Structure 1
Amino acid sequence: MPRNTAKQPRRADPLGRLVRGARRWLMWAALTAVTCVALAQLAHRYVPPGPTYYMKQEARRLGTIRHQWVPMDQIAPVMARSAVAAEDANFCLHWGFDMQAIRQVLEKGAARGASTISQQTVKNVYLWQGRSWLRKALEAVMTPISEIIWPKRRIIEIYLNIAEFDQGIFGIDAAARHYFGVAPADLSDLQAARLAAVLPDPKDRSASKPSAWLRKRTGSIMDGAATIRRDGRAACFED
């Protein structure tokens, strides 16, 4: 009796279809997210970011906050140099991640300490405070995009305008007036270094009532700001 050589119809594979559909959906979602982030960052190259998620949280908690955006040309140049000297001395030399600093942190076995100004700016503008793998993963994706879209001068401008300097005090304009009663354009070398010294821990440090440790840290930042100006590491954000 002859054998039936006709091809049998392939059985449906619902699990395979589900996996393929999920893969396509994830790829579409990732592409959409990256596109939205890039468009937001492109807009923020020219338009100041609005109040950040953390600012809104603090405004709800405190009732109000102080914050006023000022362009870079209305900020004393020494303030940008002081912030870079305090937080990210190789700011002009890296593409968002300071690999040398990361290696040093890993060698010391520390859990933190290598976050660049670029990373902090992305976190402060688009993400949330606190430590989590999800936030760090998003930060790792978004930081190189910001480095491509934003000039270094724009990154430091945004950073100085949204950083927290005291409880409810956000941005360099509010900080300069709160601590010293001056406009950000009129900050002295000492005042700028004091403000930079409080950046990592603004709720527990005071630029107007500095501890002995903060005074020592201020001197170190002043030296660092002068050094990066001399050796060219401030060239990427200086006029």
Structure 2
Amino acid sequence: MPNQRKLQREPSEPVVFIVDDDLSMREALVDLFRSMKFDAQAFESAAALMEVASFNSPGCIVLDVRLPGLSGLDFQTQLERLGCKMPIVFMTGFGDIPMSVRAMKAGAVDFLTKPFKDQDILDAVAAAMERDAARRRQHAQSEAIALLAEHLTPREREVMKAVVTGLMNKQIAHELGISEVTVKLHRGNVMRKMEVRSVAELVRKAEILGESIRPPVS
């Protein structure tokens, strides 16, 4: 049966989603971001953004705290429940310390109090874009490694787990109840299928896969 897992194709251009109920603020931010060659889209409420936005696209959200209907902080919580990883930059004219602490603890990139300088919001968005790009690179790497691991047999996966804990071939053979020659065969297959040339590389890929890594047995 053909492998059903496929790497997700990442859209090429990042988007800045702006959510603010102040029309003049929305227009000013759209003009600012577009002047810096960012694709910017503005919405008056969280509900309006949810209707049309694709949170699978690269980019970030510039979000006002006080909005009609769902507040910015509650929207942040809702996005987290939905599994949306898009970075958020908060802005508010009524900011206080508890608000900013809650927002930052929940993963916000920055919390800006209006009025802010153009450079401040541009810097915050640049940081958010870089965070999103780094997350996407890590996700793509994890997907690629998972694709390789799908070609391992159950026994090869057992051998890989043993190898990355620091066990020698003789110890692995004893643990699994197989011959040392068979361990060497499986180990070679693991190295080839996982596209690595050293145990150190294999350990890094196993860690990304989330395999259980235990201290080497003395």
Question: What TM-score range do you get, normalising by the shorter chain?
Answer: under 0.3
- Give the structure with the higher percent helix: 1
- Give the structure with the higher percent strand: 2
Q: Higher relative contact order at CA 8 Å, sep ≥6: structure 1 or structure 2? A: 1
With normalisation by structure 2, the TM-score equals 0.23
